[in-house]
Structure 1
């Protein structure tokens, strides 16, 4: 996978000091001397280096305690841009953001992942380039591209691994293809991990243990424990959609029977409604029926929530999260889905595990994926070693 670190940095220590600015708080030279224990000349040199690469900028003057007010410096997220990409089974969301993952330009278009990597990634590169231009920036300013895919991903090399709903994508060199199109480093992860990261950073950054559950055509979970995204040994953690539901025997596209996705996913609900005489071909059409007051659709979505709740109850006992966040298209069905989930989770889980548990819908909504994808990039680009490497390159040119 194309990495963000291309040159071994000299140990300037500027990258480590920069981490103090990541939360946006301005600092004076004196406050940095006190906080780092470094000499004033060392701190001044590091501020100069960080300013030279554009990561810091003057932020006015602090309150004077006598004499001339000291100058302050703060993180400048406009120094570079990021392209965040969230691909689902039938949609694509893209956003160009700054280094604080604030969207500058975005697009939300229907796109079938089954079209294959050549078509989809060429389209992503084309739309991404247009969004960069729309934001008034240049492709050369990209710090990187983050992309979430609706299937298992080998996090080490960014390639999909036997993704059930992505024909033709197994082993596809997603980072290499996008790098050739746009010339920027690429980070790839499962779409639900990306959404969990986006939700965590924007809506509940102080929450240490949570599950983000995406309910759409497929069902999956992103696991945040001790404040960090947990992917598992091969990146397959959180694959709720293929946990067996007791008593269910519906065939699943993964080859097994009774999987949660085959019972409670968008396609399963659409099939159940069709059998009952209601018409809904897509997950969004199911949501539209629920919002229109269709009784059969509302009942089907609530039952799907109960089925999801049976699997989540086991997850609550195993992981003891303090929050479960429900996202994805089907979360737009309102209280019907989440009421079914709560009904079963609170009934089946032990009181100690649910004592402080909150089950809520996503606050970041449709933006969770692109914000999380952008955050994958910024976390790497702004890491201490990467900042030191950026300074080294600047000094050598």
Structure 2
């Protein structure tokens, strides 16, 4: 990730439009990095481009584009391909032209999502295209077993890959301290408390001769990054993301910067007390918002009322087909979730508020009902400037985006 600034770390890959380098030394090096980042950003936004098209999109001169592309080709971050015949708005006469694209034919990255119940591993090109079906495996209950299983799966995936893997991005829940990437506490994944999963995985890979970049980021930041690169938050400098899957996490981006707090622990919206006599939370407190307003909380409430223990994935088809009636549970769940969303709108005034979760699939009108209840609780002026949207990205998008940004940010 881009190194943190005073108020947080940047979610945007480029810090502004580059200019042609005029001086030598540090300034020249910085301008080369900005030019390189701008070229990569153009390819991410527009797909395969010719050198002339890159120059038009970025405003960088032809000779500088040539030097930048040579550096990116040598670094295996981009690759050349033939222009497909019949492409709209491109010449059809003469020899097919060459275009540049983010590398995917010869290199790849891995994205790993550490979940409370299961982990998901995927492989993608630098353009974000999936290269294989995701691997899933149960999350081990002991930390040493988790590290061993993760490394084993990463190694097995690399052995079966037809491309060279440049690095891995890992999304993890819990309070992740920015300075040393240590999980201080994870209310729903206590085996990682006090541990540095990214460091331990990197060291184990290094010992196996598989050492390369490993990036660890908190799961809500992963969702923000995935939405920014592949979803509906492209070019949006101010937005918030609420994750309601296992826990209830909040990611806020303002002016292109993550709002992280002094050590990177900001965003624990799920641990605000909303019921003084409520259920015990994984953090040790009672009545936290995440005990009543998440996918897991809804599944637990329905299970208690129906007298059988099922996961949300098992409940959803029963709800959708009318085999069980859960309107009371849904209404209570919507009420509590709307309290959380209204708080985000009132405090942070985002232009977009994304919600990531699966329980909203229980009924066709459920999301609209959530917006209506949030509107009744949020301050009208703050709500007027905010759109509430279901997230399009995922944590695996974010894990992949994190390693791609790490590989490209320092070029």
Q: TM-score band, normalised by the shorter chain?
A: 0.7 to 0.9
Unaligned runs of 5+ in 1: 388-397
The answer to whether the 8 A contact 1:280-1:286 is kept is no
Unaligned runs of 5+ in 2: 4-24, 84-88
Give runs of aligned pairs for residues 58-97 of structure 1, distance below 5 A. Answer: 58=80, 74-78=100-104, 80-97=107-124
2:343 paired with 1:314: yes
Deviation at 1:318, TM superposition (A): 1.1
Q: d(CA) in 2 for partners of 1:33 and 1:212?
A: 33
Give runs of aligned pairs for residues 173-188 of structure 1, distance below 5 A. Answer: 173-179=196-202, 180-181=204-205, 182-188=210-216
Q: Secondary structure at the match of 2:190?
A: coil
Q: Which one of the candidate residues 199, 205, 222 is aligned to 2:227?
A: 199
TM-score normalized by the length of structure 2: 0.78
Q: RMSD of the alignment, in Å?
A: 3.4
Aligned to 1:166: 189
Q: d(CA) in 1 for partners of 2:389 and 2:59?
A: 40
Deviations 1:236-279 (A, max 9, x none): 22212111215653332212222111223345434433442342
Deviation at 1:69, TM superposition (A): 9.5
Q: Which one of the candidate residues 312, 332, 342 is aligned to 1:283?
A: 312
Q: Secondary structure at the match of 2:36?
A: helix
Aligned to 1:348: 377
The answer to whether the 8 A contact 1:312-1:345 is kept is yes
- Tell me: CA distance 1:185–1:28, structure 2 relative to 1, closer, same or farther (3 Å): closer
The answer to whether the 8 A contact 2:77-2:126 is kept is no
Q: Which one of the candidate residues 129, 143, 153 is aligned to 1:117?
A: 143
Q: Secondary structure at the match of 1:272?
A: helix
- Tell me: CA distance 1:333–1:156, structure 2 relative to 1, closer, same or farther (3 Å): farther
The answer to whether the 8 A contact 2:269-2:289 is kept is yes
Aligned to 2:126: 99
TM-score normalized by the length of structure 1: 0.80
Aligned length, in residue pairs: 369
The answer to whether the 8 A contact 2:215-2:406 is kept is no
Deviation at 1:14, TM superposition (A): 4.2
- Tell me: CA distance 1:119–1:328, structure 2 relative to 1, closer, same or farther (3 Å): farther
Q: Secondary structure at the match of 1:352?
A: helix
Q: Secondary structure at the match of 2:192?
A: coil
The answer to whether the 8 A contact 1:301-1:336 is kept is no
Deviation at 1:96, TM superposition (A): 0.8
